[in-house]
Structure 1
Amino acid sequence: MTNKQKSYIECGNKAINIAQNTDCLNDKIQELSLLTKSIENQELLVPVIGGFSSGKSSLINSFLGSEVLGIGITPQTAIATELRYSQDEKIEAIKDDDSIEIFDIKDLKKVEEKAQTYNHIKLYLNNQKLKEIDPIVLVDMPGFNAPIDTHNKAISRYMPSGVYFIALLSGVDEKTITKTYITELNGIHTRGKEFQLCISKTNLLPQRDIEQIKSYAKDTLEMEFGYSKDIELLDDNSGAKLEKILKDIDIESLFESIYKPHISMNLKEMESTINTTISALRYDKQDAINAIDELKNGISQIEIEKKKAIDNANSKYNDTNIEGIIGVVSSALSNNATTLAQSALNGGDIQSAINNIINSVLPSEIQKRLSGIQQNVIDNFKLSIGNIDMKASDIQTWADGLKEIVSGACFVANTLLNSDINKKSSSALVSSAIGIGGGALATQALAKIGFTINPIVGTILSAVFAILPGIFGKIADSKRLEAVKEQVRNEVIPSILSQIRPKLNEYFAKTTNEIINAISQEFTQKMSEKEDEIKNAQKEKELAISEVEDKISYLEDRRVEIQALIKNI
């Protein structure tokens, strides 16, 4: 367990103790308990990615010190495999509907032979190396050229949930970073994640070739991503290098980016409740009536802003964002026109190439645009109540905390779920899609702001795949690369975009309204809670004057404790 993890758990437990002993904070106990449990159980997934036969399994085996993972598997039998420490060794094979089949560790090969049956597997090993890297969980990923269904399952689960990626480039089989490889890395980069590039199988190459491959890779990555890290050279016994890469990951800052906004918001809500209660205990009857009237007026203002936001959703949010997304996808396809044309001429897998290009940009663009809409809606609701006297309720501070959570690291793209995952229950969808927030905290975060889970990327890809045979069938007679490139730009890309636009229109029209309604409801609920706090405090005034003063003194002491926790997170 990391220092930051321990610190946040301690902070959570102190906050729970304060809430348990303070009547006006009792409603926070369950939320704080869920948050603290989530921090305690948080894992950090680190996928190892690369082409088929790039040495991913061999590298992990070298790290483990034993030949655990199969290294002779085919793309069809490849499956994402999470490696976890446990004294009780076993395999959990997880299906698309989240049901689990349990196998003995010696049956790994049998499970891999049925790879298409499962979404991913969890391999529990009594291995000291895995214990030492906790809370990091290594993931052996299918190769880039795995079947589309397998590839998309892996992307859907690990692109949002992976916190750091280790990318292998085979010095023997690949030698250069191709456009396809850049597309895969771009999917990581556009999500704001880091990766470490490693050149594998260097023991099979002369030194001169190694230096050339490394130099070209370094120049390419610097130009594409501003990549400045050194490139690791791996042979068939590089487990120690993998161990160093893992230990160099700044997991303390990762935990901070995931949890600090949530802890801060919970503590500030507690402080706000105490402030309201203390003020209300000091109110006379007319003050209390005035404060409640202010809150009711605020709720009315929120309703007005909600209607205005819904009426203007298309012009204010949807049209611009949809065209922005279309533009990014169009640019990604155009930049890969040569690759697509070459694939068409050589009888390559066009569907996989287009799938990878769209998947590298579309999920992160949708995430970014929806996050921007949510932040804008929060700001507009906040402004709509700006002229109301909120000194007793701290609604403005609460709204800032909500906005910070929206833009925080644990609020990640949920929209890249493919159509196969649509069979899951809503809670399972949340769990698989939320990414590094995970578990109860993820459900809580989504519930707060109504981030709708929709398999939009899978729906779009299905529509695109349906038209591809017809489009590329028209250009099959052409044998010149430049002519095919022109057809890709002038016929193929516009046809693909024509399939994407209506799906995005439908999705944004639905999702934007859900966002507006959910955030409106959250503001209204928060103001109603403040009203209840004032009413409850007024009941306390029926006590003797000395008891009321004692109550205020107690709350002031608890407020000091909470402020100290806020200062130290």
Structure 2
Amino acid sequence: MLSKKNIYQDYLDDLIRLLSDTSIVIDTTTKMKKKIDNMQFFMPVIGEFNSGKSSALNQFLKTEVLPVGITPEIELAIELYSAVETKMCVQKKDGNLITYAEIEWESIKADAEQTQVIQLYFNNIILDKIKPFILVDMPGINGSLPEYHHFINNEYLQKGVYFLVVISVENGAISKSLSAYLSQLKKLDKPFAILINKIDLKSENEIKEIAEYIREQVTHEFGKNYPVTILDKDNKSQLSNFISSLDINKIMDDLFLNDLKDHAHEILNKISALKRGLKNSSEENQTDIFKLDADFQQLQYNYERILADEDNFDAVKITQRCAKDLINQLKQKSNDLAYLAIEDKNQQAFLNEVFRIGEKSINSTLKQQLEYVNEEVAESFSLNLTSFQFLKMQNTNFESKGLKKIVFGILSKLLEYIAMIIRPLKSFIQDYRVEQFNIKFQQDLIPEIKAQIEMLLPECIEKEFHQCIQQIKNKLENELQKTKSIIENIEQERQQQNVDSNVAIAQLNEVEQKIKQLTENVLYVGV
């Protein structure tokens, strides 16, 4: 039985072949085919430092390939590949790639701060069995390099297709920092499973109680679609069984099916536009071209008006709302933060909690503000476009999907700023009592955080907003140009007397029916 990846590859090959007999540009179809061809099924294994991630993976793989007990300062993302020959590829932050013929952990430790990702290749039958999944041993959620942690985890938030979340039975529950990360996974529709580890540290009854509590916690916070599994002490057979039970075809559908359906709909609408141009008289086509030219000018006017209209988007006001909401959250949590700062010798738990609060608060505020902006911008872009209805029929859909992603882009950058802001807090944490630290935190440090956010965030928001608006404009211009090119090509062929409209329409009808049938058989099977 063919996998969905093979089925979708064959489907797009057939689509490209059918479209080659028309004047429709196939660049988007070719890009989709390339994306599926190059698809990698990364399975990040995440958890807090000392949850036993690396040890569990070593036991699962039946080899001590991953270093255990590495200090958090040099925790790195490690991708695991099955290969005949052993080698280690080290991707540096400057873009260079260094390859070792053997696994050289001491060399990595010496230059960890300049390392981005490690790729391990070694002969392992278990990695072979779980293909196409690629396990990634991720840095600890509460490691002591928050900038690297947020950068690399954001990378795999996008690339990961399924996440394994390791929790030590010692913790007894999902921590706040881990809960914040899982909330991100849920927002991005990324599936995950909870794996309870280190069960030798508790009695059988305690393990059952902890597992049940975590299940209730997961159901309450995230829903019922996220399994909770207890890993056995030695060979981690439950992990092997769990990975084997995952439906790779469902994952492919989740990743690509809706996009493929939208693309098929867009192609069929372009065929309809092509047939319309062939049926129209030359005068009618010239009228459509005139309308499209007018829309190019109107689109540029709308674009400039959107950027100039402060009522549409005010980065300073949005920043002020973000800062106000964050400060309120920090004040509400100041006692908890003070206890963390006093009790934790290296203050890492304190820093991570400030990160978590900032992430949750700013993400929530930006999302609320930008969803409103999204509606306003979509309406403003469509204003006075004479061919707008025709373009909508072609699935132009200029609703700002990119604008909804702005939150993620801004937040990734903002967290780097927050790390810079809170790092000096360590110097304030000596032998304070909780009440004294609380006063110091509220009077001196919270205003500094607010000031830094109000200074740094507006430029970041404006840059992301402008890029997003430019992308929407480019998309609309591209659709206008494609429609215009279809009509102009028809008229050019008419003038050269190289086209019989009736014959061309009949050919397009045949292609259209074949594409409909192909789409029905592949994308709508079982519906």
TM-score higher than 0.5 here? yes
Matching residue of 2:491: 538
Matching residue of 1:457: 415
User: 2:408 matched to 1:413?
Assistant: yes
- Give the counterpart of 2:474 among 478, 500, 521: 521
For 1:101 and 1:324, locate their aligned partners in 2 and report how far apart those are by CA, in whole Å.
45
SS of structure 2 residue aligned to 1:399: coil
What is the letter of the counterpart of residue 164 of structure 1? Y
- 1:220-271 deviation per Cα after TM superposition (whole angstroms, max 9, x unaligned): 4444444675532224324321123323445434333432344334434433
Residues 45 and 324 of structure 1: CA distance in aligned 2, closer, same or farther (over 3 Å):
farther
Displacement, 1:11? 1.9
Displacement, 1:537? 0.1
SS of structure 2 residue aligned to 1:106: coil
Displacement, 1:55? 1.4
Displacement, 1:42? 1.0
Residues 382 and 388 in structure 2, CA contact (< 8 A), matched pair in contact too: no
User: 2:345 matched to 1:343?
Assistant: no
Displacement, 1:137? 1.6
Residues 114 and 256 of structure 1: CA distance in aligned 2, closer, same or farther (over 3 Å):
same
Residues 327 and 164 of structure 1: CA distance in aligned 2, closer, same or farther (over 3 Å):
farther
User: 2:32 matched to 1:75?
Assistant: no
Displacement, 1:114? 3.5
Displacement, 1:60? 1.2
For 2:95 and 2:367, locate their aligned partners in 1 and report how far apart those are by CA, in whole Å.
24
User: 2:307 matched to 1:354?
Assistant: no
Matching residue of 1:36: 33
What is the letter of the counterpart of residue 12 of structure 1? L
SS of structure 2 residue aligned to 1:199: strand
User: 2:73 matched to 1:120?
Assistant: no
Residues 193 and 340 of structure 1: CA distance in aligned 2, closer, same or farther (over 3 Å):
farther
Residues 480 and 127 of structure 1: CA distance in aligned 2, closer, same or farther (over 3 Å):
closer
Displacement, 1:99? 1.8
Ranges in structure 1 where 5+ consecutive residues have no aligned partner: 418-454
Residues 92 and 101 in structure 1, CA contact (< 8 A), matched pair in contact too: yes
Displacement, 1:103? 1.2
- 1:65-101 deviation per Cα after TM superposition (whole angstroms, max 9, x unaligned): 2222122322233211011233343211111133211
> What are the residue-to-residue correspondences of 1:128-207 with 2, within 5 Å?
128-148=125-145, 149-172=147-170, 174-207=171-204
TM-score, with length taken from structure 2: 0.85
What is the letter of the counterpart of residue 48 of structure 1? V
- 1:260-319 deviation per Cα after TM superposition (whole angstroms, max 9, x unaligned): 344334434433333233222222221122111221232233233223311225544646
What is the letter of the counterpart of residue 532 of structure 1? S
For 2:471 and 2:163, locate their aligned partners in 1 and report how far apart those are by CA, in whole Å.
34
For 1:507 and 1:341, locate their aligned partners in 2 and report how far apart those are by CA, in whole Å.
30
What is the letter of the counterpart of residue 18 of structure 1? L
Residues 160 and 412 in structure 1, CA contact (< 8 A), matched pair in contact too: no
- Name whichever of 376-385 and 508-517 sits farther off: 376-385
Residues 196 and 299 of structure 1: CA distance in aligned 2, closer, same or farther (over 3 Å):
same
For 2:445 and 2:240, locate their aligned partners in 1 and report how far apart those are by CA, in whole Å.
45
For 1:94 and 1:510, locate their aligned partners in 2 and report how far apart those are by CA, in whole Å.
29
Matching residue of 1:11: 11
Residues 307 and 180 of structure 1: CA distance in aligned 2, closer, same or farther (over 3 Å):
closer
For 1:2 and 1:319, locate their aligned partners in 2 and report how far apart those are by CA, in whole Å.
53
User: 2:458 matched to 1:500?
Assistant: no
Which fold has the larger relative contact order, with Cα–Cα distance below 8 Å and residues 6 or more apart in sequence?
A: 1
Matching residue of 2:251: 254
Residues 204 and 216 of structure 1: CA distance in aligned 2, closer, same or farther (over 3 Å):
same
For 1:330 and 1:298, locate their aligned partners in 2 and report how far apart those are by CA, in whole Å.
45
- Name whichever of 94-103 and 504-513 sits farther off: 504-513
For 1:61 and 1:518, locate their aligned partners in 2 and report how far apart those are by CA, in whole Å.
45
For 1:374 and 1:128, locate their aligned partners in 2 and report how far apart those are by CA, in whole Å.
49
Residues 231 and 265 of structure 1: CA distance in aligned 2, closer, same or farther (over 3 Å):
closer
For 1:564 and 1:373, locate their aligned partners in 2 and report how far apart those are by CA, in whole Å.
40
- Name whichever of 253-262 and 297-306 sits farther off: 253-262
SS of structure 2 residue aligned to 1:232: strand
What is the letter of the counterpart of residue 79 of structure 2? E
Residues 377 and 519 in structure 1, CA contact (< 8 A), matched pair in contact too: no
SS of structure 1 residue aligned to 2:408: coil
Residues 289 and 484 in structure 2, CA contact (< 8 A), matched pair in contact too: yes
Displacement, 1:162? 2.5
For 1:135 and 1:468, locate their aligned partners in 2 and report how far apart those are by CA, in whole Å.
45
Matching residue of 2:45: 48
Displacement, 1:456? 4.2
- Name whichever of 142-151 and 56-65 sits farther off: 142-151
- Name whichever of 359-368 and 490-499 sits farther off: 359-368
> What are the residue-to-residue correspondences of 1:301-316 with 2, within 5 Å?
301-313=298-310, 315-316=312-313
- 1:328-379 deviation per Cα after TM superposition (whole angstroms, max 9, x unaligned): 6456545643431112223423434423443466568757866775565345
Matching residue of 2:501: 548
For 1:534 and 1:300, locate their aligned partners in 2 and report how far apart those are by CA, in whole Å.
19
Ranges in structure 2 where 5+ consecutive residues have no aligned partner: none
Residues 83 and 139 in structure 1, CA contact (< 8 A), matched pair in contact too: yes
Residues 374 and 406 in structure 1, CA contact (< 8 A), matched pair in contact too: no
- Name whichever of 507-516 and 545-554 sits farther off: 545-554
Residues 62 and 155 of structure 1: CA distance in aligned 2, closer, same or farther (over 3 Å):
same
Residues 229 and 184 of structure 1: CA distance in aligned 2, closer, same or farther (over 3 Å):
closer
SS of structure 1 residue aligned to 2:210: helix
Displacement, 1:320? 6.5
Residues 196 and 231 in structure 2, CA contact (< 8 A), matched pair in contact too: yes
For 1:505 and 1:555, locate their aligned partners in 2 and report how far apart those are by CA, in whole Å.
51
Matching residue of 1:283: 280
- 1:405-426 deviation per Cα after TM superposition (whole angstroms, max 9, x unaligned): 64999x9934455xxxxxxxxx
Displacement, 1:113? 4.9
Residues 214 and 231 in structure 1, CA contact (< 8 A), matched pair in contact too: yes
Matching residue of 1:430: none
User: 2:164 matched to 1:210?
Assistant: no
For 1:365 and 1:62, locate their aligned partners in 2 and report how far apart those are by CA, in whole Å.
43
Residues 124 and 331 of structure 1: CA distance in aligned 2, closer, same or farther (over 3 Å):
farther
TM-score, with length taken from structure 1: 0.79
